[in-house]
Structure 1
Amino acid sequence: MSSLFNRLMRTKSVDAEAGAAGAHGGHSGDELNRTLGLFSLVMLGVGATIGTGIFFAMVEAVPKAGPAVIYSFLIAGLAAALTALCYAELASSIPASGSAYSYTYVAIGEFAAYIVGACLLLEYALAASATSIGWSEYLNSFLNHAFGVEIPDYLRSPLIVSGEHGNEIHWGHFNLPPMILVSMCCFLLLRGASESAAVNAIMVLIKIGILVFFSAIAFTAFSTEHFKPFNPYGLMGNGQEGKGVLAAAGTIFFSFIGLDTVATAGAEVKNPKRNVPLGIIIALLIVVAAYITVAVAAMGAQPAAEFSGQEAGLAAILEKVTGSGWPALLLSAGAVISVFSVTLVTIYGQTRILFAISRDGLIPEKFRTVNPRTLAPVFNTVVVCIFVGLIGGFVDSGYLWDMVSMGTLVAFSVVSIGVIVMRYKAPDMVRGFKLPFGAWTIPTASVLVCGWIISDLSKATYTVFTIWIGLAILGYFMYGLRHSKLANKGD
Structure 2
Amino acid sequence: MTLARRLLRTKPAEILVAEGGHGEGGELRRTMSLWQLTLFSVGATLGTGIFVILGQAVPKAGPAVVLSFLLAAVTALFSALSYAELAGTIPVSGSSYSYAYATLGELVAWICGWCLMLEYAVSVAAVAVGWGEYLNAFLGSLLGFTLPDAVTRSPGQDGGVVNLTAILVVLLATWLLLHGASESARANAVFVLVKVGVLMFFCAVAFTAFKAGNFAPFAPMGVAGVTAAASQVFFSYIGFDAASTAGEEARNPRRDLPLAIILSLAVVTLVYVLVSVAAIGALPWTAFEEQGSEAGLAHIVNLAAGSTWPGVIVAFGAVVAIASVVLTVMYGQTRILFAMSRDGLVPRVFEEVNPRRQVPVANTLIVAAFISVLAGLVPLGQLAEATSIGTLFAFTIVNIGVLVLRRRSPELPRSFRTPLFPATPVIGAVLCVVVMAGLAGVTWQAFGLWMLAGLICYFAYGYRHSRLNTEVVG
TM-score (norm 2): 0.92
Match of 1:175 in 2: 163
Match of 2:429 in 1: 447
- Paired positions, count: 470
The equivalent residue for 2:277 is: 296
> Do 2:389 and 2:436's aligned partners in 1 also have CA atoms closer than 8 Å?
yes
Q: Does 1:39 align with 2:14?
A: no
User: Structure 1 117/64 Cα, relative in aligned 2: closer, same or farther at 3 Å?
Assistant: farther
Write the letter of the residue equivalent to 1:414: I
Separation in structure 1 between the aligned mates of residue 162 and residue 446 of structure 2, nearest angstrom: 23
Q: Is the 8 A contact 1:63 1:307 kept in 2?
A: no
User: Which of residues 182, 193, 197 is equivalent to 1:194?
Assistant: 182
1:78 CA drift (Å): 1.6
Q: CA deviation at 1:68?
A: 4.8
| Secondary structure at 1:35 match in 2 | coil
Matched letter for residue 453 of structure 1: V
Q: Does 1:435 align with 2:435?
A: no
CA distance in 1, matches of 2:434, 2:211: 32
Alignment map for 1:148-297 (pairs within 5 Å): 148-161=144-157, 170=158, 172-223=160-211, 248-297=229-278
Distance 1:124 1:250, change over 3 A: farther
Q: For residue 91 of structure 1, what is the amino acid of its counterpart?
A: A
2:398 to 410, 415, 425: 415
The 8 Å contact of residues 56 and 134 in structure 1, kept in 2 or not, is answered as no
Rounded Cα–Cα distance in structure 2 between residues aligned with 1:295 and 1:401:
26
Is the aligned partner of 1:83 residue 2:79? Answer: yes
Distance 1:343 1:248, change over 3 A: farther
Counterpart residue type for residue 355 of structure 1: F
Q: Is the 8 A contact 2:59 2:289 kept in 1?
A: yes
Unaligned runs of 5+ in 1: 162-169, 237-243
1:168-194 Cα distance to aligned partner (Å, 9 max, x none): xx4653433221111100111111111
Q: Secondary structure at the match of 1:149?
A: coil
CA distance in 1, matches of 2:63, 2:440: 21
Whether the aligned pair in 1 keeps the contact of 2:169 and 2:323 (CA below 8 Å) is: yes
Q: Closer, same or farther in 2 for the Cα pair 1:423/1:149, shift >3 Å?
A: same
1:34–1:267 Cα contact (<8 Å) kept = yes
Q: Which of 52-61 and 9-18 deviates more? A: 52-61
Aligned residue for 1:490, secondary structure, equals helix
**2:312 matched to which residue of 1?**
329
For residue 130 of structure 1, report the CA deviation from its aligned partner: 2.9
Q: Are the counterparts in 2 of residues 58 and 307 from structure 1 also a CA contact under 8 Å?
A: no
* Per-residue CA distance 1:123-174 (angstroms, 9 max, x = gap): 112221232234323211211122111122333233235xxxxxxxx46534
> Retained in 2: the 8 A contact 1:250–1:454?
no
From the superposition, tell whether residues 223 and 305 of structure 1 become closer, same or farther in structure 2 (CA, over 3 Å): farther
- Equivalent residue number for residue 164 of structure 1: none
C-alpha contact 2:84 2:259 (8 A) present in aligned 1: yes
Deviates more, 1:114-123 or 1:200-209: 200-209
TM-aligned CA distance change 1:9 to 1:253, over 3 Å: same
Amino acid at match of 1:153: D
Kept in 1, the 8 Å contact 2:103–2:405? The answer is yes
- The verdict on how the C-alpha distance between 1:459 and 1:233 changes in structure 2, with shifts beyond 3 A counting, is farther
Q: Distance in 2 between matches of 1:323 and 1:60?
A: 23
Q: 1:404 to 1:246 in 2, by over 3 A?
A: farther
Query: How far did 1:28 drift?
Result: 5.8
Q: Aligned partners of 2:149, 2:58: CA distance in 1, in Å? A: 25
**2:7 is matched with which residue?**
8
Structure 1 379/226 Cα, relative in aligned 2: closer, same or farther at 3 Å? Answer: farther
Find the residue that maps to 1:10 and give its secondary structure. Answer: coil
Give the Cα–Cα distance (whole angstroms) in 2 for the partners of residues 228 and 157 of structure 1: 41
Amino acid in structure 2 at the alignment position of 1:297: A
For residues 74 and 397 of structure 1, the distance between their equivalents in structure 2, rounded to whole angstroms, comes to: 30
Any stretches of 5+ residues in structure 2 without a counterpart?
A: none
How many Å separate the matches in 2 of 1:410 and 1:141?
35
What is the DSSP-based 3-state SS (H/G/I as helix, E as strand, rest coil) of the residue aligned with 1:183?
Answer: helix
| Structure 2 residue aligned with 1:478 | 460
- Closer, same or farther in 2 for the Cα pair 1:295/1:136, shift >3 Å? farther
Deviations 1:252-299 (A, max 9, x none): 333223211100000111121111111111111111111121123223
Deviation at 1:396, TM superposition (A): 5.8
User: 2:448 matched to which residue of 1?
Assistant: 466
What displacement does 1:71 show? 4.1
Partner of 1:392: 375
TM-score (norm 1): 0.89
Q: Does the 8 A contact of 2:194 with 2:317 survive in 1?
A: yes
Give the C-alpha shift of residue 27 in structure 1: 8.1
- The Cα of 1:408 is off from its aligned counterpart by 1.1
